[in-house]
A and B are shown apart, each in its own frame.
Chain A
Amino acid sequence: MSAVAAKPAAGGAMNPGAMAVGIILTLILVGICYVMSPGVGLMALIGVVIGGILIGFGTHFVPVGGAPAAMGQAPGIATGVAMLATGAGVAGLFGGAWAAETLPATMDPMMQLLIVVCAGGVGGGLMMAITCMMVNFLYVFGMGIPPASGKVANDPITGDSQAEYKSQGTEGHGLPFVSFVGGVIGGTLGGAGGTLIYFELLNLYQGALPDVMNVTAAQVLPIAVSLAGMFAVGLFLVNAVLTAYNITGTIEGPHDPKFKRWPRSIVASAVASALCGLCAVLIVVPLPI
């Protein structure tokens, strides 16, 4: 079929076959990890996949308007999807990594995981709350424009009518309340997902690197922290960019029809995270040859 004869891009359509292939690919990658490194390696990979899915799902909540938002032509934050989601996520990762450092080693591992992931989530949510608030501050007090959505007649949370607050010739502007809430949820999920990836990889490296490098646990700590941090930032970018392709440009938040595309994105995030996570695990697993 030529490009001309093809149907218009059905952005929201799900392809069950492709999704099944994605799930099978993920299972194969997890299976390879099980063969190469059962136990801690497998646990780390599962943590990375769950973290990647959280990032991919969370990015759908972030209200991003791109270039039209910068002219007050469309609602959302005037920057790219991957840009903003990554900014919030790494801010959460910063907080989560700090919390991981200060927790006593004697604490229950599950409780440690819970605290670290919550700290990362709150860090990402706080970054987005401040950013979204300042965006509305600038629209209202700097430019005299009230927030208005172009996708719904009434704000699903507050019930405020939107159509009459859209200025002529635009799709809306600023961040209506539902978009603000979506931004905070997106930042929270992203921060939690990124921190989960960091924490799982850190535990793996702290346990495996001393044997691989023949050094003490204290000597290996800076390398383990740096390595886990770099992989976490890298996996964040992978998942945020994948989701940006799924969103195709702009999204207003959870009330936007594009939000319904999330199942497709989390399958893609699971495959990409499993592949990247497998590489992250295998660098500390000696090959059986």
Chain B
Amino acid sequence: MEHIVFGIGITALAGALATVAGSAEDTESNIGSQGDPNSQVQLAPQMGFLHRIFNKAVAGEPPAYGLWCCLGAGLAWAFMAMQFNAVLAIVLGCVFATFVQGVYATTAYVGRTASLAKFGQPVYVDILKSMTTVTMAHAFIAIFCTVTLCHLINTALGHPFPLPLLGLIWGIALGAAGSATGNPYYGKERQYQNQKFGAGVPISASGNIVRYAEAGERNSIDNGWFTAKIGGSASGICFGLIVFLELWRTVVFEAINPWYAIIVGVIMILIFTVIDRYIEVWARKTYGPYTAPKEADA
């Protein structure tokens, strides 16, 4: 019983770390335009809309975070093997992984933006200096939280995978959850803030992203500030729920009977299915159709 209570405590801590990691990951990727909306940042100069938005997307979020978290976890594991204190080892590992992220962000921005030279898009050195450090700070939080929760899973909960492999797995899952949840809010709600609320962006508007702020030109720190409110929080809740519920059902029920953990997992899936259906029906009833009902030409 005691070890189950201990396990639940670790599970709660891991869930909280995952929530912070998900939120920081989405904000970092939005500041760097690393999710799918990067296509619009890249397209805008080609349509004649020059901008000062940071764009470091040369890899999807899941493989990028898989690399950084695996690197942080691997280095932390190596430092721990050298008898470093676990906290110090994790911090040092994550610092080095963040430096790699910084190099990645710098080369990615310069490379992607230089490719737009023929359309007149400049490479802004001040953008490079101010945005890169902000993304590095957010990346450090995301990597540190992920590596720490991997360390807890490995040492306190006894998962068989070594720390670097756990870092790779949860880094990929972090990127997948963060990009899936947070991307639409940055792409639709922030980049196309000039379009109507409550409707998708018409395909004809592609590339015409918002480039001006209340004062002067908009930059990516403004975008991070805006998306952190809902997109970042939703991504954090998404990744936090994934980690917490996956650990909780295993820690509590696996020891009693392995089938119980599976059955509880199936029940959770059914509960989320009901919630999703409720959200869909609520939206259809509350917002109503855009046009009068008619036979669709599918």
Contacts and interface: CB of A to CB of B under 8 A. Distances in A.
A93 interface: yes
B198 interface: yes
B242 A130 contact: yes
Given A98-B250, A138-B230, A144-B197, A126 B269 contact: yes
Interface in A159-179: 160-177
Contacts of A140: 279-280, 282-283
A152 B199 CA distance: 19
Nearest to B187: A70
A207 interface: no
Contacts of B183: 69-70, 78-79
Interface in A81-101: 82-84, 86-88, 90-91, 93-95, 97-101
B162 interface: yes
A209 interface: no
| Secondary structure of the B contact surface, majority rule | helix
A122 interface: yes
A102 B242 CA distance: 21
A167 B290 contact: yes
A146 B245 CA distance: 27
B291 interface: yes
B158 to A, nearest CB: 7
B185 A143 contact: yes
A181 interface: yes
Interface of B: 35-40, 60-63, 158-162, 165-166, 168-170, 172-173, 175-177, 179-189, 191-192, 197-206, 230-231, 234-235, 237-238, 241-242, 245-246, 250, 254-255, 258-259, 261-262, 265-266, 268-269, 272-273, 275-277, 279-280, 282-284, 287, 289-298
21 contacts: A66-B36, A67-B36, A70-B36, A72-B188, A78-B183, A78-B187, A83-B179, A84-B62, A87-B175, A94-B166, A94-B170, A129-B276, A130-B242, A138-B182, A144-B198, A144-B287, A163-B296, A167-B202, A169-B201, A180-B276, A226-B165
